Structures are given as C-alpha cells and as structure tokens.
C-alpha cells in the first residue's frame, strides 16, 4: 500500500516557513518520498502500518495550512501516469524496495 500526503502550507512569515520546513523534513525522515514539492508518498505494509504513520503525521502537523492523506494500493499507484518530466531517482527505487519486503 501507499500512503500519500498532500499539503498546502503558508510560508508568509519566518515562523510559517520554519513550520513548513519542519513538516517536510519530518516526512523525509519518516521514509516518505517527495513526488512533487507538496506531495509525498510512502510504501507501507498493511493497515496497521497505515495507522502508525497516520498517527505520526498527525502528531507532526504544522499549526496552520491544509494537509490531506490518501491510501492507495500498489496496483493503483502503478497506474499513475507521469505526463511531463522524469521520475525522480527515489521513485524508480521505491517499487523495487517493495518487492524486497
């Protein structure tokens, strides 16, 4: 399964930028891959893992902004189409990691 996090955070003040950066760094440190600047995804095994990481994301939310999550299957993730640009190095490695689990 994949847990995706989408967010739109304010960055108008120094404090807001600090909160947004902390949230992005938390996501990276928790194993999420950056698909786009405000879209992160993580491979997760099972519903228990989804609940664990949803809890972690919830505990690290910034005070303002909009944060959403979506859980999808590997099959649904594989159907995603990249219309312009190139997949990142992390995106190419991630599906191979799932096979190793």
Q: 2-52: per-residue pLDDT in tens?
A: 999 999 999 999 999 999 999 999 999 999 999 999 999 999 999 999 999
Tell me: pLDDT of 85 over 90: no
- Do 69 and 4 contact (CB within 8 A), yes or no? yes
Fold annotation for 2-100: Alpha-Beta Plaits (3.30.70)
Q: What is the pLDDT of residues 51-82, one digit of tens each?
A: 999 999 999 999 999 999 999 999 999 898 88
Helix (H), strand (E) at residue 89: helix 89-100
Q: Which residues pair with 39 in a beta bridge?
A: 6, 36
Q: How many helices (H) and strands (E) does the chain have?
A: 4, 4
């Amino acid at each position: 399964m994949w847990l995706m996090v989408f967010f739109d955070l304010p960055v108008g003040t120094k404090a807001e930028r600090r909160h947004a950066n902390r949230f992005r760094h938390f996501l990276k440190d928790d194993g999420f891959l950056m698909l786009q600047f405000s879209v992160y995804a993580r491979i997760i095994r099972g519903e228990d893992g989804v609940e664990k990481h949803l809890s972690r994301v919830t505990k690290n939310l910034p005070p303002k902004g909009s944060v959403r999550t979506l859980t999808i299957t590997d099959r649904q993730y594989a159907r995603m189409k990249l219309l312009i640009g190139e997949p990142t190095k992390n995106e190419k490695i991630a599906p191979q990691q799932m096979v190793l689990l």
